[in-house]
Amino acid sequence: MYIILLGPPGSGKGTQGAIVAARTGLPRISTGDLLRAAVRDETPLGRQAKHFMEQGLLVPDEIIIGLIQEVLNTPDAANGVIMDGFPRTVAQAEAVDRLLAERNAAIDHVLTFEVPKEELVRRLLGRASDERRSDDAPEAIERRLEVYRNETEPLIAFYRDRGVLTAIQGTGSIDTIAMRVEEAVGI
Ligand code: ADP
């Protein structure tokens, strides 16, 4: 089963992704986590991605599509993946489609997490002080929310047109939201 978690920064994709991964045994792949590890390890990918991430901008599609190709082609991904934080642009979504089509697979579910903006900002500022993520500075937070609206939100219509989209109310307790997710994907 191929599941995409779509939603603004702070909407709870990572938290819910980990729960779905544990329930299904499918790997959760987060491009954000992979990029942060690459930056930390100062790999060529990390060096290319670093300043985009710090500014709250998307890492360019040419770079990300190579990374997506790499992760979707691993044996671990053969039976399904929980995709957290990608695709984030229409070009990335088309690349995911192409890669899955090569193995006669397709996206089964796309979940969008709906959370009011004030709550998103509150969560992201809280995370900044807990985890010290450099892109959780107030200016970068505003930028990331704007980038989400401009570049990623169009994917909602893209997947709605295909009938695979479910909107999940992203407020409430983690358990309540997890129940909504489980109902949406039928696990
Ligand atoms: P969040 O969704 O909370 O912003 P992520 O960990 O998903 O956090 O992403 C952090 C940053 O990593 C993004 O702001 C962006 O710079 C970069 N990034 C992650 N995934 C992608 C992607 N699929 N395409 C482009 N940039 C990405």
pLDDT (mean) for 121-127: 91
Backbone angles phi, psi at 5, to 5 degrees: -100, 115
Instruction: Evaluate whether 82 touches 173 at the Cβ level (below 8 Å).
Output: no
- The string of pLDDT tens digits covering residues 55-103 is 999 999 999 999 999 999 999 999 999 999 999 999 999 999 999 999 9
- The DSSP call for residue 30 is E
Question: Coil, helix or strand for 41?
Answer: coil
- The string of pLDDT tens digits covering residues 37-60 is 999 999 999 999 999 999 999 999
pLDDT for the residue numbered 127 = 84
Backbone angles phi, psi at 142, to 5 degrees: -60, -45
Strand 2-6 with 109-114, pairing? parallel
Contacts of 69 (CB under 8 A, 6+ apart): 95, 99
Q: Which of 130, 123, 129, 160 shows the shortest CA–CA distance to 145? A: 123
Q: How far is the CA of 173 from the centre of ligand 1 (A)?
A: 24
- Residues with catalytic function: 13, 88, 127, 133, 144
Q: How far is the CA of 10 from the centre of ligand 1 (A)?
A: 11
Q: Which of 1, 5, 16 shows the shortest CA–CA distance to 156? A: 5
pLDDT for the residue numbered 133 = 78
pLDDT for the residue numbered 113 = 97
- The string of pLDDT tens digits covering residues 135-181 is 888 888 999 999 999 999 999 999 999 999 999 999 999 999 999 99
pLDDT for 132 beyond 80: no
- Output the ligand 1 site: residues, CB below 6 A: 9-10, 31-32, 35, 52-53, 56-59, 64, 85-86, 88, 92, 135, 144
